[in-house]
Amino acid sequence: MNYLAHLHLAQLSQTSLPGALLGEYVKGNIDTQLPANLQMGVWLHRRIDTFTDAHPLHLGQVRALPSPYRRYGGIIMDMIFDHFLALHWSRYHDQPLTDFIDHAHAQLLPDAHWPPAMVTLVSRMQQYQLLASYQTIDGINLAISRIDHRFRRPTPLPHCAPIVQAHYRDMEHAFLGFYPDLMEFVLAEVNIAPCAQHQAPS
């Protein structure tokens, strides 16, 4: 899943919103010197990604993409699932999306544990209202195309809008079946998490 889902699931599970994003940047063993709530956020981020990648509804949509897009299917589906979360937000949260975004921005205050790339991400997220832009298909297509810059060589991502349009309804149906499973999984996982002191204000 992408940023909006990780932040939503952090609030749902009463874990750390900064920790949820930090999981995007921490590789290898989790540093035990990190505050417990950040360790929990990184751990849960990884559990969410593993569950998502293996879920039949997510995996089925990745496999349905034609070549060469299938190779980048995990990226495309993570982004488009964030779009559907934003689009169907009221199914999963009582608070309006705009209010949640404001709350998330207020929680994401850089500190010494953040890598520079995360500081840059959050600054851009707030400046350009990236999470709000996920509500529209144009906004999510633009976000997908920008991921191309992370690769050393050009990818087909800037050209995937017609593919997304062709598979849009199937992707939406898959998301609506998948996301309640993910929410249930997250709530179960926090009860067996290896870090006991994981609770953080949300």
Write the pLDDT tens digit of every residue in 11-21. 999 999 999 99
Instruction: Check pLDDT > 60 for residue 198.
Output: no
Write the pLDDT tens digit of every residue in 120-169. 999 999 999 999 999 999 999 999 999 998 898 999 999 999 999 999 99
Distance CA 147, CA 149 (A): 5
Mean pLDDT of the region 45-69: 97
Is the pTM of the predicted complex or chain greater than 0.85? yes
Residue pair 118/22 in contact by the 8 Å Cβ criterion: yes
Instruction: Decide: residue 90, CB within 10 A, 0-12 exposed, 13-18 middle, 19+ buried.
Output: exposed
Mean pLDDT of the region 42-70: 96
Which residues have C-beta within 8 Å of that of residue 38, sequence separation ≥ 6?
A: 16, 18, 19, 22, 113
Reported as a pLDDT band with limits 50, 70 and 90, residue 193 is: confident
- Which pair of tokens denotes residue 91? 């199914």
Residue pair 44/20 in contact by the 8 Å Cβ criterion: yes
The residue written with tokens 């063993």 in the block is: 29
Q: What percent of the chain shows pLDDT beyond 90?
A: 90
Distance CA 148, CA 166 (A): 21
Q: For position 1, what pLDDT does the model report?
A: 84
Q: For position 43, what pLDDT does the model report?
A: 95
Write the pLDDT tens digit of every residue in 19-47. 999 999 999 999 899 999 999 999 999 99
Q: For position 7, what pLDDT does the model report?
A: 98
Q: For position 192, what pLDDT does the model report?
A: 79
The angle formed by the CA atoms of residues 48, 51 and 53, to the nearest 5 degrees, is 105
Q: For position 195, what pLDDT does the model report?
A: 58
Q: What is the mean pLDDT of the chain?
A: 93
Which residues have C-beta within 8 Å of that of residue 164, sequence separation ≥ 6?
A: 76, 80, 137, 140, 141, 144, 171
